[in-house]
A and B are shown apart, each in its own frame.
Chain A
Amino acid sequence: MQIKDVENLAELARIELTEEEKIAIQKDMGGILEYVKMIEEVEVGEIKTEYNLKNIWREDEIIPRDFDKEIITKQFPKSQDGFLKVKKIM
């Protein structure tokens, strides 16, 4: 993995990295990928991986919950008039 690959991943993952951190990550990733690469040699043949899983749905009903609006809104890092405030996006 090259430094520019690390930069690309950091961009995709929305994490700012310093130059030293990029080098450290490059080294760590090298070691980890070297280890997990062993799965390349596994012969799996034809295999179904759907696990018989299915989505669990529920009706969109209004059910009273034990938390109130306050405890959520007062945790907004930035707010105005009880609304969440974010940087301009347009």
Chain B
Amino acid sequence: MIDLKNLTIEKAHEDLKSGKYTCRDLAEAYMKVIKEKNPEINAYLEVFDDVFPQADIAQKMFKDGTDTELTGIPFAIKDIILIKGHIASAASKILENYIAPYDSTVIKDLKKAGVVFLGRTNMDEFAMGSSSQTSAYGVTRNPLDPSRVPGGSSGGSAAALAGDMALAALGTETCGSVREPAAFCGLVGLRSTYGAISREGIIAMGNSLDQVGPFGKNVRDTEIIFNLLSHYDKEDSTSVPDSLRMNLKPKSSNLKPTKIGVPWHLFSEGVDPLVQENFNQSLEKFKKAGYEIVDIELPYCKYSLAVYYIIMPAEVSTNLSRFDGIRYGFSADGENLLEVYKKSRAKGFGREARRRILLGTYVLSHGYYDAYYNKAIKVREKIKNEIVKAFEKVDYILTPTVPITAFKIGEKMDNPVAMYLCDIFSAPANLSGVPSIALPSGLSIDGLPFSIQFMAPHLCEKRLFDIGKKFEEIK
């Protein structure tokens, strides 16, 4: 019996390397749990039928000595990331039968490393949501408490990992969609610098915001995945070129980053008192460990979520115009071409997707463009400048990851703004493109995970991993 509960990527690698068990044994152990738990949790939309052949290929890499740290590691992949020959539906009816004709760059990287893909995971439709309840294929439940949501939109990936149905997972983030489910499921989740990880082969939601993000059971696992995936990709025009990566990397210095900025004014209200208390306790631990805590003011950041809910729908309405029932995916019958579009999109998109498409159409329409979209991109620029400037004074910015803990299934579905507010602390990183990491920071008396999040300057993921590991020691 493999102890999946306490297994990490490093530990599994050691065991596979020493022959304690094989890649197939490991895959079998996870498949067994999936069989047991997935009918209730609904983390996976599909479990692949070639898991064991994949494990055998990985085993051969160990035999040949071509193995990497990720060889044979069983992964769960969000249903928005293209894997050649497999359905990629973005949990939408409109792509229910869409088969990916090529591998996304992140999948190519993972395949080369010998990863075993267990299946594709459930999510909010087109990654639009914070609870994985807007999926066209049913809700995903939180494995820590099945009456609650796992967070979203990458809720299936988080639930798979937290429920020992995978050893690692990939999600994507437009605004908190990795960090929020990581928080609700007690995991580490990374939103990397905009342009650090390739988006080639990822179904787009908001192009100026989207990033792929790894989930891990600990900081080191997340770091291992990030290190593999973070590189320039000529297939993605927003990928950060190597020259810029070198320039932006922090200059080596003997000074250890120890200054943590806390923008208290951003969470003076609307935060669950238990979350606040846990945050204060975490802060104390950093103080004791020798970190300097500094009050900072980020006056424009208070508008982050409002700015986000203008820019993102604008980009959504543009991106989702490609789904028209003509070339692939779900197609409804109609009298003429226009009717085919309208009916396919009406029946193919769920309520939240339609809501955001219409909102985006509105903020971009003549007469409203200046008041909404144009204003929003200006405020976004202010937010970005403000964050970059804050990092001249501090090494990190720290907030809670989410203002609340995992809520009950069914909650917030009739109140879009209440749902959107789950991501209030996520928005500044996505709007400014800086990296951010969510770290588990303890459990409530009901056993629900708390989480804190750090932001660091552009391309300073290493700094986030360092403080994350420190927190694992001192918490």
Contact = CB atoms under 8 A, between A and B. Distances in A.
A52 B24 CA distance: 50
Contacts of A34: 417
B417 A35 contact: yes
A63 to B, nearest CB: 11
* Interface of B (DSSP majority class): helix
B336 A28 contact: no
B331 A9 contact: no
B358 A72 contact: no
Contacts of B371: 40
A49 B338 CA distance: 36
B281 interface: no
A17 B346 contact: yes
B327 A42 contact: no
Contacts, number: 144
Contacts of A62: none
Interface residues of B, number: 61
Contacts of B351: 24
Interface stretch (B72-80, B114-122, B182-190, B301-309): B301-309
Nearest to B307: A39
Nearest to B374: A49
Interface in B401-434: 415-417, 420
Interface of B: 84-85, 97-99, 101-103, 234, 237, 300, 303, 305-307, 309-310, 317, 321, 324-329, 331, 334-338, 340-343, 345-346, 349, 351, 354-355, 357-359, 361-362, 365, 371-372, 375-382, 415-417, 420
Size range of the chain A interface in the assembly: 35 or more
B458 to A, nearest CB: 13
Contact of A39 (B101, B310, B326, B381): B310
Nearest to A55: B237
Contacts of B317: 13
Contacts of B365: 9, 12
Contacts of B306: 35-39
A38 B307 CA distance: 9
Nearest to A72: B101
12 contacts: A13-B345, A16-B342, A29-B358, A47-B381, A49-B377, A65-B102, A68-B101, A72-B328, A75-B328, A77-B326, A77-B328, A84-B326
Taking each of B103, B325, B358, B420, which has the highest tally of chain A beta carbons within 10 Å of its own beta carbon? B358
B303 A15 contact: no
